[in-house]
Chains A and B, each alone.
Chain A
Amino acid sequence: MKVGIVNFGGQYNHLIYRRVLEQGVEAELFGPEVPAEDIDRSYDCVIVSGGPQNIPEDIARMGTIPRYIPNTYKPILGICLGHQLISYLYGGEIGLGSEFGVSIVYVDHEDHILRGLKPKIRAWESHNRSVINPPRNFDVLARSDKIRVQALAHRRKPIYTVQFHPEVTHTEKGDLVFKNFIAICRR
């Protein structure tokens, strides 16, 4: 099994790469210009991670990914910028709302992706914008005191997103998010 990680230039992308390898599966980082059919052919599932872009005005600079996401049936995990991009593509609203360093994230619904994280974790954040209103057809799984939408799950497709950074060592039980996602990829 091989997990593809979209590289939008975020500083933690190599940590995502490392965490996936630690789950005992193959991983590869790839640039956002890779054609959609190549992504589907090369990977069993995809992680869409962080970068300095802003949603929505920088979407034109995000290559094939904004078209790829709604048109694939492969499992997808969005992290930070990926969380905001996926929310926006499905009709969610993005606005100002920053968190840096530690936040307490309350897990209300574990679904598949946050299994083992209830009731709350100390999570690390680094974002200037947030999902203000979640997209339809998604369930909000977690929140913090300041930001209401910390994690989302699509009601029918295997699409999951988190605003916090499960890949950094300071996030409690972050490795479980990757373990859970790999289990979803294996189904």
Chain B
Amino acid sequence: MFDPREAARKIIEDIRDTLKGVDDCIVAAVSGGVDSTTASALTYLALGDRVHPIFIDTGFMRKNEPQLVRESLRDIMPLEIYNYSERFYSELLNKDDAEVKRKIFRGVFYRVLDEVLARLECGYMVQGTIAPDWIETLGGIKTQHNIIGDLNIFRRRVKVIEPLRNLYKDQVRLIAREIGLPEKIWRRQPFPGPGLLIRTVGRLELDKLNIVREATDIVEEILREYSPSQYFAAAWEDAYLDNSIASLDSGIEYRVFKARATGVRGDSRVYSHMVLVTGLSGSHDLYDLYSLYKRFEDKPYSRSILNIAPSEHGDGQGYFISIRSVDTVDFMTAEVTRIDMGVLEEISERLLRIKGVAGVGFDITPKPPATIEYE
């Protein structure tokens, strides 16, 4: 059985051993997610104030996120916030392809990190890499316990400390709890590195991003009591490929969004249009609604969204908000959270009050064939 206390002790000892005789400083970039925070905290516990925990504000954070993360870690380690949102916005505004957005984001992120490393004159950095991040990319598995490697993307030679590289997410949470990180952190739902950028589906525009931020706040507030593994809002244009409503043999009426999202089918990535289920003939109980995505299994769409409100859509003016909520142990597969229609309607009512929101739906697609995030 996995023993978090022993694992934490061993990691701290390994970090001290590895850096014995080195007097360089270490930058620990914390995103507030459980992996990076735990990796940074373990390094901080091992080496003390030679470690500089930093938080890079990309501009794609949730409401008040940088401050909340710093506050919740106050008793563990001091966190310095670097605001680079203008840099990220200027490189990403009006970009619309999912992969292009992710690649630009990654490029800017590393350039910014490079600047911080240079400014602080540190030769080491902590990364929250966990086992699934690298096992797949290697042909063969060697049972190695090295926690340090070279990273060649920076101007200066930087060594990377990866204290969690042999662990899985559930094990990381246990360690986080063990070393006294606040429950807010170890229970926290994952938040992707590119953050709200990839929930602002399609072209990045600031009004759309702000709507996603508002909507996420509302969805998190109401769904929190269900304790889903991951839950949030995403937005895209309320516009459709063609104006008519299509229907399946089974009496399901649907429209196809212009917006595209990523999915995974049989170990291949797909990037294709999403479907809005607008009507059903006959009666359907909630269980049926949750399996509607199966009806689109043989069609080339990335996911199925159940229409919540309003009933008419699609002059292309305004944004459509999708409510996403899934349950999973390891984030490799995910099931849609069962939520009462009444609650979805309550969320939808609040979302429709945000200026610019034209429609709301609930994403009923598990992973696979969808991914948890949209891009």
Contacts and interface: CB of A to CB of B under 8 A. Distances in A.
A124 B291 CA distance: 13
A161 interface: no
Contact of B298 (A9, A98, A165): A98
Interface stretch (B135-143, B147-155, B191-199): B135-143
- Tell me if A's interface is mostly helix, strand, loop or mixed: mixed
B100 interface: no
Interface string A153-187: 00000000000010011100000000000000000
Contacts of A102: 291, 335, 366
B268 interface: yes
A14 B267 contact: no
B141 A99 contact: no
Interface in A4-53: 7, 9-15, 17-18, 27-31, 50-52
Given A14-B132, A15-B332, A81-B267, A100 B139 contact: no
Interface of B: 131-132, 135-136, 138-141, 168, 264-268, 291, 293-294, 297-298, 328-330, 332-335, 365-369
Given A28-B141, A101-B369, A169-B329, 9 more contacts: A13-B135, A30-B140, A52-B268, A100-B297, A100-B366, A101-B366, A102-B366, A126-B265, A168-B333
A178 B335 CA distance: 23
A137 interface: no
B135 A50 contact: no
A141 to B, nearest CB: 22
Nearest to B334: A170
Contacts of B329: 169
A128 B265 contact: yes
A120 interface: no
B368 A29 contact: no
Contact of A11 (B131, B267, B334): B267
Of the candidates B136, B335, B367, the one having the most CB atoms from chain A within 10 angstroms of its own CB is B136
Most buried by B among A7, A51, A99, A126: A126
Contacts of A29: 135, 138-141
Contacts of B298: 98
A98 B265 contact: yes
B293 to A, nearest CB: 7
A109 interface: no
A17 B132 CA distance: 10
A169 B131 CA distance: 17
26 contacts: A11-B332, A14-B135, A17-B135, A29-B141, A30-B139, A30-B140, A31-B139, A50-B266, A51-B267, A80-B266, A80-B267, A98-B297, A98-B298, A100-B294, A100-B368, A102-B291, A102-B335, A124-B333, A126-B264, A126-B265, A126-B266, A127-B266, A165-B333, A168-B332, A168-B333, A170-B334
B297 A7 contact: no
Interface in A62-106: 80-81, 98-102
Main SS class of interface, B = loop
Contacts of B136: 7, 9, 11, 13-14
B365 to A, nearest CB: 8
B267 A101 contact: no
A110 to B, nearest CB: 24
Interface residues of A, number: 34
Nearest to B327: A170
Contacts of A98: 265-266, 297-298
B138 A170 contact: no
Given A29-B138, A101-B294, A101-B366, A169 B328 contact: yes
Nearest to B268: A52
- Find the residue from A30, A101, A168 having the highest chain B CB count within 10 A: A101
A102 B335 CA distance: 9
The 8 closest A-B pairs by CB, nearest first: A100-B369, A31-B139, A14-B135, A126-B368, A101-B366, A169-B329, A168-B333, A52-B267
Nearest to B335: A170
Contacts of B330: 15, 169
Contacts of A127: 266
A172 to B, nearest CB: 12
A50 B267 contact: yes
Contacts of A50: 266-267
A99 B265 CA distance: 9
A31 B140 contact: yes
B170 to A, nearest CB: 10
A131 to B, nearest CB: 14
Contacts of A30: 139-140
Contacts of B140: 28-31
A169 B333 contact: yes
Contacts of A17: 135, 141
B131, B329, B332, B369: most-surrounded residue (chain A CB, <10 A): B332
Contact of A18 (B168, B291, B293, B365): B168
Given A11-B136, A100-B297, A169-B333, A126 B141 contact: no
B297 A99 contact: yes
Contacts of B366: 100-102
A143 B279 CA distance: 31
B298 to A, nearest CB: 6
